[in-house]
Amino acid sequence: MNAPGESSADVLLERAGMQRSPFPKIELFQLRDFLPAAMCNELISLIETNRRPSTIADPNGDTYFRTSETCDLDPDEPVVRDLEARLHALNRIDPAHGEPVQGQRYDVGQEFKAHTDYFEPGGIDFNRYCSVAGQRTWTFMVYLNAVEAGGGTRFGVPKKIIQPEPGKLLAWNNRRPDGRPNPNTLHHGMKVRRGVKYVITKWYRERPWG
């Protein structure tokens, strides 16, 4: 049985259509049509209404490292509750271990340079972000629209670029089998060349959130 903040390959592969990328150094999955078009459009509207400049933990001096905009999605919105229910049915992670859902918007030229989702042990803000809920375990991300050009997600170690498709889900385990952070999850939200990209992101933690 998985820990409350964990999913697993066995659980995710129970869903018809789930694909696991064949790279031994990372547990990376994708599922097309996870969300219907109507839900994607509703989530895009929420992101447009409440977006703000994105930030990063442990600033590195590069003001162009993450240039997207971010939106904290209201958990009481019906479409957000629907999203959370779909994620729980898919991954069976105790919802108490989930961070609030975020949305991101990338305009032309915006990107999130190569990074990992876990908090770097020994980093300036490690204790601030991990003292209560612990380290991030799994990431679940959903593209909400097609992008005219650019905007893919590039994983460096497997040398794989995943292109945005409306409703397509990506999921990966941020940790190695022994529980240590997995640096092979390094990924780059590549620059949008034409159009706008919208995604939602849901992170889970070792211990209950908040």
Does the residue 1 lie in any domain?
Answer: no
Does the residue 189 lie in any domain?
Answer: yes
Q: How confident is the model at residue 60 (pLDDT cuts 50, 70, 90)?
A: low
Retrieve residue 195's tokens. 């159009």
Does the residue 147 lie in any domain?
Answer: yes
pLDDT tens readout for residues 139-166: 999 999 999 999 999 999 889 999 999 9
Does the residue 43 lie in any domain?
Answer: yes
Q: What is the mean pLDDT of residues 74-79?
A: 97
What's the domain count of the chain? Answer: 1
pLDDT for the residue numbered 124: 80
Q: What is the pLDDT of the chain when averaged over all its residues?
A: 93
pLDDT for the residue numbered 39: 98
Taking a C-beta distance cutoff of 8 angstroms, is the pair 173, 182 a contact?
Answer: yes
Domain, as residue range, for 110: 9-205
Does the residue 134 lie in any domain?
Answer: yes
Q: What is the mean pLDDT of residues 171-200?
A: 96
Q: Regarding predicted confidence, which is higher, 61 or 127? A: 127
Does the residue 183 lie in any domain?
Answer: yes
> Alpha helices of the chain — where are they, by DSSP H?
9-12, 37-50, 78-91, 126-130
Give residue 147's Cα distance to chain centre. Answer: 18
The DSSP symbol for 100 reads P
Which own/partner pairs from 53-56 qualify as long-range (CB within 8 Å, at least 24 positions apart)? 54/104, 54/112, 56/115
pLDDT for the residue numbered 59: 63
* CATH code, 195: 2.60.120.620
What is the pTM for the complete model shown?
0.94
